Amino acid sequence: MKLTFALILALQDYIHMSVCVWAQDWPEPDKELVDKYEGLKAVFLKRLVNAWEKAKDAIQPALESSPTGGQAKEIFEEMRKRPRVESAIKIIGGLASELEPVVDKARMALLGAYGQYLRPYIGEHLDKAITNIKPVLDTVLPHEG
């Protein structure tokens, strides 16, 4: 009983500390930093979409010609038509749209904290690393089709 009570008190203090840390006002990120982040994010997402499309285009003919590929496609189509799956997709989509403002606020808080506390020390090194990795990514995972 004493151990349970001590655990509850410890968790209460931990939760209070966590809420206090996230409830504080975080510095606003510079517009230049936000624009740079948004640009890098957009290019990264383009790279992922292009990689997905290339993989799909490469695998699709092989799947269509094999008997197991056709069966897998039929099973997938049947699952998509099920009401539970449709409901789950709608719920997940709704949760994603509901969480978007929270995620944006957290992203801006982290960018602000990075801009104020870390960027003066590691910003130049990180920028050089990103610049140096871009040619490799352009070769392996291009962002333009």
pLDDT digits (tens, 9 = 90+) for 76-123: 788 888 888 888 888 888 888 888 998 999 999 999 999 999 999 999
pTM over 0.95: no
51 close to 144: Cβ distance less than 8 angstroms: no
Question: In the predicted model, what is the mean pLDDT of the chain?
Answer: 84
pLDDT, position 17: 52
pLDDT, position 48: 92
AA identity, residue 3: L
* Three-class SS of 46-85: HHHHHHHHHHHHHHHHHHHHCHHHHHHHHHHHHHHHCHHH
- Dihedral class, residue 142 (left if φ above 0, else alpha if ψ from -120 to 50, else beta): beta
d(CA 63, CA 72): 9
